[in-house]
Each structure stands twice: as structure tokens, then as C-alpha cells.
Structure 1
Amino acid sequence: MKKYIVLVAVFVSVITFANETKPKLEATKDNIVKATYYHENGQVQQQGAFKNGKLHGEWVSYDENGNKIAIAEYNNGAKVGKWFLWNDSSLNEVDYTANKIVAVKNWKKEAVVTN
């Protein structure tokens, strides 16, 4: 009997963990589907939306520890607006217009002014 209880507990935990890594999709009005993707450890990897099957609106990416690593903007699948990309030593800002890079700025961590 104990073997069956242990087997059921393992099975339930495997199913729970597997469900944490599957994308979560939520349909909203105007043909928009909100999407959340997960790292294998269950942390959110990316969140954003699709409109008519194309990337649309703001997309945010996170590392496996939950730290924000990127913010991107799409309009019907085209890259637009300001994108921000973080790493350990800098912040990069990339400006897009009609899916083309028009400017790139880079800030080093040492240059940050704090109060």
C-alpha cells in the first residue's frame, strides 16, 4: 500500500511540475491571446501577447531567477519602440521603427547615479 501512495505522490508531482513549464494561454477580446512561458524550474520566462497569431504589444523576459532581462515591443509581429536588454554589467536600449533598428544606447552599471 505504501508503494502505491509513494507512486501516486511522485506521479502527481511530475504532472504538477510538467504543467508549470507549459505555456499558459489566455484568450481576450480583439483576437488577442496573452501568453506566459516558463523556465524548467517553474519561474516565468516570458510574458506577452499575440494578435491574429503575431507577436503584439509588450513582451517581458526573465532569467531563471526571476530577474527581468528584456522588455520588447511589437506591433503585428514587427519590432517597434524602445527595447531594453539587461545583463550583469549594462543596460542596452534599442530603438525600432517598422522592424528596423534606428538607434542603440548602452549604459554601464558603473555609470548609474543613485541617491
Structure 2
Amino acid sequence: MKKILCVIALLALTSYSFGQKNKELSMNEETGLIEAVYFHDNGQISQKGTFNLERKLHGEWISFNEQGDKIAQGSYDNGLRTGTWLFWQGETIKEVKYENNTVASVNGVKSKDRLVKNDH
């Protein structure tokens, strides 16, 4: 039964995205999550992350600009932002902490020697 629901959910997401050629979806049988990768028009990855079977964002999500540089990284829990998110803006890194999908605190660091590496 669970497998049937997974297939139905995957088909629903696939048909929903049929008109949008700039994304890829796949089911991760091990985690039970749908893995998604979205692309900019130039082919670079725009966002990647996972959905649960209720089609809510769940797990780590990473966003990239059109040049492929990471601009945001954080986690969702059943559709709600949670924990520490990082946002890169030039030489500035903003650390935003979320509690119950609400911003709890914001810290910014401006540094040539970044404290958090911005790798792909």
C-alpha cells in the first residue's frame, strides 16, 4: 500500500511539473522523500532539495544563483523553515535562525575569509 501511495504521489508531482521543463524529480526509496532539482534557464542548478509525500518541503534545501554560486542553505520540517539558514550576499553571510517557521535571530558576518565555505 505504501509503495502504491509513493507511486501515486510521484505521478502527481510529475504531471504537475509536466509543463515546466526546468526541473527533475525522483523518488528516493531509502528515505521515502521526493528529490527535486530545479534549473535556471541557462542550465545551472537553481535549487535542490526534497519533498515529503504530502508534497511539503522537507529536509535540506540549497539555492544557487545563475552562475552556480550558493546563495542560501537551510532545512524544512514538513513545510516549515527550521534551524539555522545561511544566506550568502557577496562577502556577507547572514545566519538566520528559525523557530516554528518564524525568524528567531539574524546575524551577519562580513569577511574576506569566510567562516562558512560556499561550496556547491
TM-score (norm 1): 0.74
CA displacement at 1:43 relative to structure 2? 0.5
- List gaps (5 residues or longer) in structure 2: 1-20, 116-120
Runs of 4+ in 1 over 2 A off after TM superposition: 109-113
**2:15 is matched with which residue?**
none
Alpha-carbon separation, structure 2, partners of 1:110 and 1:59: 25
**2:4 is matched with which residue?**
none
- List gaps (5 residues or longer) in structure 1: 1-20
TM-score (norm 2): 0.71
**1:69 is matched with which residue?**
71
* Letter in structure 2 aligned against 1:28: N
Decide which structure has the larger Cα Rg and report it.
1
CA displacement at 1:70 relative to structure 2? 0.5
* Letter in structure 1 aligned against 2:104: V
Which one has a larger percent helix, Structure 1 or Structure 2?
A: 1
Identical aligned residues as a percent: 37
Q: What is the aligned length?
A: 93
Cα 1:58–1:112 change in 2 (3 A) is: closer
